[in-house]
Amino acid sequence: MESGSWHVEKRSSLRNDSFTGEDNVPETGCLSIVVLGASGDLAKKKTFPALFHLFVQGFLQSNEVHIFGYARSKISDDDLRNRLRGYLVQGKTTDSEQLEEVSKFLQLIKYVSGSYDSAEGFQKLDKEISEHEISRNSIEGSSRRLFYFALPPSVYPSVCKMIKHYCMNKSDLGGWTRIVVEKPFGKDLASAEKLSSQIGELFDEPQIYRIDHYLGKELVQNLLVLRFANRFFLPLWNRDNIANVQIVFREDFGTDGRGGYFDEYGIIRDIIQNHLLQVLCLVAMEKPISLKPEHIRDEKVKVLQSVLPIKDEEVVLGQYEGYRDDPTVPDHSNTPTFATMVLRIHNERWEGVPFIMKAGKALSSRKAEIRVQFKDVPGDIFRCKKQGRNEFVIRLQPSEAMYMKLTVKKPGLEMSTVQSELDLSYRQRYQGVTIPEAYERLILDTIRGDQQHFVRRDELKAAWEIFTPLLHRIDNGELKSIPYKQGSRGPAEADELLEKAGYVQTHGYIWIPPTL
């Protein structure tokens, strides 16, 4: 949590304001959260800290929840707790209340050691969970069991089998068993469908939560409200007014020791096919008939099914100089660390509007944003085109903000124009409000049974159908990655592609986040 934001208002018990989702049955039994892969980086850096923040805010109550860590490492309960402690406390804090909360949270964690394909380990895990449920006087079948896969996808099928055979609720009295699986969901359409089938044979779709943490980001969650709760956006949000849309992800560092893992996937599989495509769906979808998860996900699938095949001439790939110096990366790797591409949506609202997807590592800055550029003003009497077009920008990270770039009169006696902005910067507008981490929000959604911000199976299939042909051409060496310098904007060819797609660069204007 951010400094100064430790003292938070405690929420009421989770069970008072949430439902199982499937049948709107109020939750009754105790809650067991199992973090599989508990000793790994993802669990330590994201999953356990998110659970801790939910605990601090009162969403997880110590009298109804217990957390189990499961992994192959032969360690004790205290060993795991000590490993996690440093990830829950920011710096060397002396705040006694914070340290007390950390200690209370760590006491909720129990560790079970076992392999991911052995009956013995999962039988032992089930025994520990059942003992916790009995100690809480939970009626058999009324308890809730959430399994979080902080694991590589290669072990998903075996872990799912073990859970299905040994760790499910014994009957159904309002309780449930749910699984949360992390990306990557396969490497192409065939592998994703195979993985979906293996999991789908064991669990029903309402039990499966495919997590994409971008859908938990505050500004991404705001997209539906912005689009459908504001009258002035409704008539503008179409091909008649919008020239192009950019969805951008930039990092100012390279693979940093993850070269071997990254080389198997590349920037398109790692970022564009999932995170940025999910954002595109929310920008481009039609208004759902309600906020029910299935109605929202239906509209997202329609967008994906309307995307035309990607043309090779509308793709620029790059690889930063020095990437292959990593000993875990093959000497002749063609894996892109940068990609810019144009997606085109073939429907009434978006025909002819390029959606430019851009992602890269080792670039000049770190940011993620959505940039909606509007068409030129017809009959421009001020002759201010050279200053740039109107743009609506949603900054996802860092410094969450949304601002509208517009042309105004420059102060003074002369009638001259300049670009400025209408700005909503979260840090300034919402002082003292802690924006929750994406994982906090999404884990809470899984407990509540709300699948709105998770990827449905047909949605996943439609996403892979868009990118698989392109990825196979890259894997076969038909499209080459262009070298670019670390700390640059990426290959110059990417800027040329943006220009061809109709994006007009603004010169002489820089948005500066307001300071308090």
For residue 421 the two structure tokens come to 């902005």
**Which burial class, exposed, middle or buried, applies to 11 when counting CB atoms under 10 A from its CB (0-12, 13-18, 19+)?**
middle
Q: DSSP for 219-273, please give it.
A: HHHTHHHHHHS-TTTTTTSSTTTEEEEEEEEE-SS--TT-HHHHHHHHHIIIIII
Chain-centroid distance of CA 255 in Å reads 19
For residue 410 the two structure tokens come to 């420059």
For residue 367, the surrounding DSSP H or E stretch is strand 367-374
Catalytic residue of the set 132, 275, 295, 453: 275
Give SS3 for 94: coil
Give yes or no for a contact between 309 and 472, defined as CB atoms under 8 angstroms apart: no
Backbone φ and ψ of 456, nearest 5°: -80, 160
For residue 488 the two structure tokens come to 């640059």
Each residue of 400-424: b (16+ CB within 10 Å) or e? bbbbebebeeeeeeeeeeebbbebb
**End-to-end CA gap in the chain:** 19
256-265 contacts at long range (C-beta below 8 A, 24 or more positions apart): 257/326, 259/323, 259/326, 259/327, 259/328, 259/329, 260/326, 260/328, 260/329, 262/335, 262/337, 263/328, 263/329, 263/330, 263/333, 263/335, 264/187, 265/184, 265/187, 265/335
Q: DSSP for 424-476, please give it.
A: EEHHHHTTTPPPPPHHHHHHHHHHHT--TTB--HHHHHHHHHHHHHHHHHHHT
Q: Is 453 a catalytic residue?
A: no
The arrangement of strands across the sheet holding 391-397 comes to 417-425, 401-409, 391-397, 367-374, 242-250, 354-360, 338-344, 315-320, 482-484
In angstroms, rounded to a whole number, what is the distance separating the alpha carbons of residues 61 and 108? 10
Each residue of 99-137: b (16+ CB within 10 Å) or e? eebbeebbebbbbbbbebeeeebbebbbebbbebbeebe
CA dihedral 164, 165, 171, 172 (to 10 degrees): 10
Catalytic residues: 275
